[in-house]
Amino acid sequence: MITDHWLSWTILFGFLAFLAYTLIVVKEEKASFKESAKECSFHQFRFQVPSWWGLVEESENLLKWKRTDTRYDWEATLKRETTLNKDISIEEDFKNRIEELELVFDLDSSDILMPADFKDRPEVREGDLEIVRIEGTATQQGTERCYFDAFLFRDHKRGEVLFASSHSSVLNGLVEGPYFEEMILGAHFS
């Protein structure tokens, strides 16, 4: 039977070998993330960025990364705004930003963290910083399925806002999403 369909079997074994190689590479990335991470400062924040992310856009108020060693449909963005709208709550501000992006999240597979969920951070307890987060699968502009992870930081000391987001296809979000989360949750605020 194998000799009759040798080409099909060769393709199957080649695909399985490629899949095993991919799993090994992803596992090694997770183990080496902390050791190979690059320090990144963006105004009052310091982050540990995965070494395989390539900075593709940089300005005074914007940083954007893509994975340059693969063709993943993924990008992470940090956007700073120098004015804080104190007339609305952080929750309303965040909701408005998500609506502007035309995102509708799947309620059964999304996680929303409110400011109280970050009270273990000293800068939040002291009232200098507010944080909210949403993460999960969504539909964008009514048709495109995506994975989206976003944090909104409101810096009350400086009157500024930082919107951090990770946007990708659903499957690629599962690969890069944990690194984005680790980068943002491990941020140091000064």
pLDDT interval class at 172 (50, 70, 90): confident
14-18, 81-85, 155-159: the lowest-pLDDT one: 14-18
Q: What is the DSSP letter of 141?
A: T
CB-neighbour burial class of residue 149 (10 A; exposed 0-12, middle 13-18, buried 19+): buried
**Separation of alpha carbons 151 and 135, rounded Å:** 9
pLDDT interval class at 2 (50, 70, 90): low
pLDDT for the residue 32: 67
Is the whole model's pTM more than 0.75, yes or no?
yes
pLDDT for the residue 29: 59
Count of alpha carbons within 13 angstroms of residue 8, beta-carbon side: 5
Does residue 124 carry a pLDDT above 70? yes
| Averaged pLDDT for residues 100-115 | 92
State the average pLDDT for the chain.
88
**Separation of alpha carbons 182 and 36, rounded Å:** 14
Give SS3 for 82.
coil
Element (H, E) at 81: strand 74-81
Nearest-CA neighbor of 132 among 88, 174, 168? 88
Residues 132-158 have pLDDT tens digits of 999 999 999 988 899 999 999 999 999
Contact predicate 97/88, CB 8 Å: no
pLDDT for the residue 176: 84
Contact predicate 116/132, CB 8 Å: no
Count of alpha carbons within 13 angstroms of residue 103, beta-carbon side: 24
